[in-house]
Amino acid sequence: MTEKQWLQLKRICSGESDEPTPAFIIDSPWLPNWAGVKIIEYFTSEEIWFQCNLKAIETFPEVMFLPGFWSEFGMCTEPSAFGARSIFPENEFPHAFPVIHSSGEIDRLEKPNPKTAGLLPFMLQRLIRFRERIEKSGHMIRFSVSRGPLNIASYLMGTTEFLTLMMMEPEKVHRLIRIITDFLLEWHALQKTRIDSIDGIFMLDDLIGFMSREQFEEFGLPYFKELYAGNEPVKFLHNDAPCRESAPLLHQIGINLFNMGIDLTLNELREIAGPGITLMGNLPPRDVLASGTPEEVEQATRKMVNQVSSRHRLLPSCGGGMPPGVATENIRAFIRGVTS
């Protein structure tokens, strides 16, 4: 993210600018194959990782790519710190296996040290090693990044098992989320300490969309409020699962930027979430952005932007992160749909 883009993002999130600015979350599901390399190469070669990100920002200078030079190992990143066994297929998404097989095991779970646990040192060291080259390209590292506490819990236990335990043994769930939240507080603080250009926070948590409002109020809201309690000017949350239940509570979390899925229109979400949160979305990612023709993408994007009741606090994007298979021509069509 360039300095100009960062200042513009802060202005949009604070309500000071309505300038239409296309933005996308990009990471390993899209970036490696788009750049012509295999996913395993992207994860194992720091140079290939850097060149893929550099290619994206140079090909589409009009776009804000968030978080920007994202150092990650897919969904395995944070679960690995808790000892999750992971597999890394050559050109498929990696997968982390559960480490908690019964509620009794939660009592023995210990908070990992983010300085040394799992893949975290490799993720952070990659950014530190390439910081100078990133900055020479005109960009800076602006966000501390992690999956959210509910998302991590679902990987440590399994989604069905975690949601079932929420109903059967809520005290165990609170203990698990407490450990994960304390870990995340340290992990985000470490990223900011080691890279002093970081001034934003970004978390991704789709488990929010699998919970009722009452469940989220009990098991999610208090912990997210802690995690977003800092003074960062951009507090970014991604949840591309259904958000109708949680959207009325987004302002209580403390975020000011939200990337959603496609279950609600931007106008519906604005009405539910209120005027104080910047909405980032929400063209259908798979069925339109990836599968449509450039003409269809441009037309659908223009319709999406023109139908919003207000462009105040809006970042046109797709509903969720950039999906696999989106072609260069379709991204250019999206940009035209936003800016022309």
Rounded average pLDDT over 189-197? 98
Give me the pLDDT at residue 90, please.
Answer: 97
Q: What is the DSSP string of 68-114?
A: SS---BTBTHHHHHTT--EE--SSS--EE-----SGGGGGG-----T
Domain count, the chain: 1
The answer to whether 260 touches 277, Cβ cutoff 8 Å, is: no
Give the CATH number of the domain where residue 187 resides.
3.20.20.210
Give me the pLDDT at residue 18, please.
Answer: 85
Q: Compute the distance between CA of residue 201 and CA of residue 317 in angstroms, rounded to an integer.
A: 19
What CA–CA distances, in Å, run from 1 to 126, 274, 282, 284?
Answer: 17, 27, 21, 24
DSSP helix/strand/coil, 223: helix
Give me the pLDDT at residue 187, please.
Answer: 98
Give me the pLDDT at residue 239, please.
Answer: 97
Predicted confidence (pLDDT) at residue 91 exceeds the cutoff of 90: yes
Give the pair of three-digit tokens for residue 321: 């992160």
Domain encompassing residue 207: 3-339
What CA–CA distances, in Å, run from 187 to 28, 74, 153, 243?
Answer: 21, 17, 16, 26
Rounded average pLDDT over 255-265? 97
Give the pair of three-digit tokens for residue 111: 């908070």
Tell me the pLDDT tens digit for each residue of 209-229. Answer: 999 999 999 999 999 999 999
Give me the pLDDT at residue 19, please.
Answer: 84
Which H or E element spans position 334? helix 328-339
Give the pair of three-digit tokens for residue 206: 């789709």
Predicted confidence (pLDDT) at residue 106 exceeds the cutoff of 90: yes
